[in-house]
Structure 1
Amino acid sequence: MDEIGHILREARENRGLTLEDAQAHTRINARYLTALENGQYSALPTPVHARGFLRNYARFLGLDPQPLLDRYLTGQGQDVPLTPPSVQEITPETPLAERQDQPFFDPVNMEVSGKGFSAAGGSSGSMLQIVIIVALVVALALIANRFIPILFGNDGSNAVQEISSAVQDVVADITNATPTPTPTTAPPSEDEEAAGGSTIVLDGTEQPIVDTSRNNPGAAGATPTPTRPPLPATLDEIRLKVDILERTWMEVTIDGSVVFSGIAKTNDAFEWTAQNEAKIVTGNAVGVFVTINDVALGRLGGRGERYEEVWRTTQ
């Protein structure tokens, strides 16, 4: 097989093209392309056509046509003209030739996307930065939650709540999270408005919101309201159910062991059973709805109020 034809055929097959594909792109009849690949130049109309077909076909296949033309002229017994080096036409289908005088560069740390070059670790780096920021914010919140009440006493609950709200906003901004909606409180009736109470829809059941200061050891002189359901004087056990209506700091102790200490989020629900004593301390009493042995006691207090209450099997 002719050397020029071998080069042309190998280039076409490497590109996965048929002679019909080449004819469709170059507008050169397939039989002339076959003649070029087989070295049958006498089958071409004229030597001028042969050189033109060879030049266009080589460019289509991404080859430099000048060396092939020089070989064709040499094979035909013609002198190769001394012409300045030709500049290869760059087309979208022309592959980039590697220079042998320079070390090969493999961009292992770069990725090509529709918008340009970017570092291969860009996405993971951004995610790592977000994780680090969130971890630092959470750590600061935990430190503040632990030590501010100790430093400021009861007055520190408001500071803890403000810090917790700020942390929640920062985390929401970083992660594009949507704040959790608070439950809707039903409007109070005329009788409840007169008594200073209201109702809330909890688990599909309308429950009264009542004062819970009766069992609060720290609320000296507080007058219990008659709307809070009384508990029996003696209980076999204390089945404590806590529904979180607003975000709050809370600590729960069951029979002398702390079973929860931290930030409780809206719509969280907890259940514990105590044999002797159950205790709750919260920094936002209005957000904690308590049920003891299926008796709904309601919210523990007002918004932003630090509250502590203890229930015992023998009241």
Structure 2
Amino acid sequence: MTELGSRLKEARKAKGFSIDDLQEITKIQKRYLTGIEEGNYETMPGSFYVRAFIKQYAEAVGLNGDELLEMYKTEIPTTSNEDVSKSIPQTPTRRSIGGRSSNKFMEVFPMIVVALFVIAIIVILWTLFQKSPKNEIDKTEVDTSLTLEKKPPTEENSSVKPVEEETPKEDNPSEEVVDTTEETKPEQQVTFVETQGPTSTYDLTGADKYDLKVVVANNTWLNIRDQDNKILVDKAVNAGETFEFDASALSRIRVRVGHTPGNMVYINEQLIEFPTTKTTQNLVIQFNK
């Protein structure tokens, strides 16, 4: 056991925490916590996670994680640039994205101009054709031919007066009043209820769906439970990732973020604030359907 492991273990016992308690608080697997206390870092996923787990362990038992990392840096594996680059996915820069989109637009722009020009010519020709005198002559000829085909009535037919058809009188139907007012759906509203310890509660009304999204800027452990306290998600999320979850079938969810600084939680694209400055916090969202 290393000196760092002994100090962390003593602080844990002074807090009255067992390894299982600490696992529940930090959401770090028990075998990693035991490895930290025993100085066995070979079981860790990498040196980056060694430092992150030690810091989270220290803060959970009331110690300063940054000071411990600096004090015992000779005992802890150093983080290489290669490890950091592996843990953070690379994304294209805005300049490169903008450059590709602008190049595509410049390639398509001439075709758009030609298409608009052709459409304009077709509209002009169609308008001129409708106003041409030939159409007027054709209409006159049709009217004349229809007039000549009508035969004058004979004497027999003239003596018989046509029976006028009685058109049934239509009752004036009552005017139906149509309600053209469209039903307006209430807008989504998130209301803060209370904060107790690390847990803050919100009410969500006026929504017909419940899409949860977590935008991760710093590595964290994410735990999601339903209204029956059943674990739905329990995993580590790396910086740069976006985690999404459809909670439409639930009436309540609890989102536990192991490391809140820099990380953001959204419900239906609306940001849910962390009311306190604690490192580990719970957000309980109640759906009023």
**TM-score range for the pair, normalised by the shorter chain length:** 0.3 to 0.5
Q: What TM-score, normalized by structure 1, do the two folds share?
A: 0.32
Q: What TM-score, normalized by structure 2, do the two folds share?
A: 0.34
Q: Which has the larger radius of gyration?
A: 1
